[in-house]
Structure 1
Amino acid sequence: MLNNSPMKRFGYIVFSVCLLTLGACISHEPMDQEEDVVKVSVGLTAASFTNDAVTRAEQPMAPDYENLIGNLWILQFDREGILIGSEQIVLTTPVLNTTLEGVTLRTGRSTLCIVGNLTDAETPAWPDNLNGFKSLVVDMGWMKERSADRNVCLFGYYEGEITTGTTAVNVVLGRLVCRLNIAVSAKTAGVFSNVKIQLKRAQTKGYLFPSDTYLAPESGDYTEEVITAGTLGTTSSYRYYYMAENVTTGTNRDERTQLQIKATKGGTEYTKNIDLGRSDINDYSLRRNNNYTFNIILE
């Protein structure tokens, strides 16, 4: 997971969704023939990463290495929050951009939820109401291992009136994870050796629907990563982590995500735990769809 080179995860994806033309389509919750229905184009745009220019610099990935869409779930909830339709589409070839035409929706005020890239094992039995849907948590513990390389779940939703005259609906998809770019270097070359880092108390689960509720991490320590077995130079070495968002003010130190760094100097190994976040404003949240870079210089 923690590769030096970018992984094929995230991307700028713009497409319209119509479930009749591309890939294998599976329908659930058949429409009541007495209800008004309409076929619309659903425009999906993957939100670009948000960067904190105050304390973190951007370390962008090329679009070709970013998230491919392999499958989608489209769920419609009515004004009472009742699930009135759900469909799945599996693309025969994962793509960054595509156009699908003819999504069938019921008319009326609705919440339209779009979920991308859940595996069959991760896909729950969808709750029959919106409140239940908002309580769903996705397990992303697979991100802890270097060998894991797969597309990250996306989510977006639309709230509004669907009428017989509706022809298009636009939804912005956001990633359920944040990206942590860790840059490690030495102030003076040749002083530190055998440098290792490990992400600790990392979030491995996250709400599908955006939430401000804190989730205590379960088994949240990532695999330890060797920066260098030799001596550390003054040029930064990068490691990239993907993590479910950590929604916390950090008032409780045990809720803060930490980076543990170990290094040998003069034959002695030293260990330092660094709280990741905005210490200047006492904010240790690491939000979904955000790109954070932490520059660590050993002295």
Structure 2
Amino acid sequence: MLEPVSFSPFPGFLLVEIMDNGNTTSDFILLGLLNHTRAHQVLFGMILTISFTSLAGNALLILLIHRDHRLHTPMYFLLSQLSLMDLLLISTIVPKMTADYLTGKKSIPFFGCGLQIFFYLTLGGGECFLLAAMSYDRYVAVCHPLRYSVLMSWPLCLRMTLGSLLLGAADGLMQAVATLSYPFCGRREIDHFFCEAPAVLRLACVNTSVFGYLMYICCVLMIVIPLSLILTSYGLILAAVLRMPSKDARKKAFATCSSHVAVVGLFYGATIFNYMRPKSYRTAVHDKVVSVFYTILTPMLNPLIYSLRNSEVKGALKKYLAPSAALPH
């Protein structure tokens, strides 16, 4: 019979040690996404390339916004925070996944698993609310341009950014503590490439259905409330744009807002599919594939969408690259 025998140094976490061939262990085993077949090695190379591209793209976007004074506006500040969250999200998942695949050592400490759950949910939840803040910024810019500096002041912008992180952190801390407070049995093999709360809960020795329902409701609220605000903002923006007499003004408004809508669609599409599907339609393989899209592919697409569809970002990039192009070869 398995019994809890010690406590984790992580506050509130019950460390359950189990006997395995006479040895005690508190580590989890991440089964991962890929094996070492030829096809999966190619997929691993593609994932690694996408990850590096994502890191470079988001870092470059942050650098451009920081260096170009024309981009020192609330809109681009919020965009830089989105890139920062994407960069941190990849750093939370990909290095461990890569090390596990290359070395074959797939264990993750109990404390490390808790940190992955916390940071993953903090950054993911923070992006949900940050995208809502970005939609409000575009609503004010299009519908109330003369009052923009008042309705979208820098103090409000900073409060929205900090509030997004705090709400995400509250969700991440609650789910990490609650998930790892359960006793775990067996070999502790997580059928995933990182510690995602639902995947970890499958290893619990006790019935977790109540917490599972509460976690589902929490995820729905974290998604539905910001998404409702976003849809309301862009509905009002669309109505305002259609009333504009100038074709150039309509074109500029559509060009700016379409980038935001594309990012919102990618982010929320993957999130809703991953967390709001009925359990009967969920499988470990589907969860892992969708998680790759959400944690690796979408962060790469965000800077590409903004750089390709935003003339101000393209102008800042040309200005940044101009001195290098002017150097003699």
- TM-score of the pair, normalised by structure 2: 0.24
Query: Which one scores higher on RCO, CA 8 angstroms, separation ≥ 6?
Result: 2
- TM-score of the pair, normalised by structure 1: 0.25
Greater strand content:
1
Greater helix content:
2
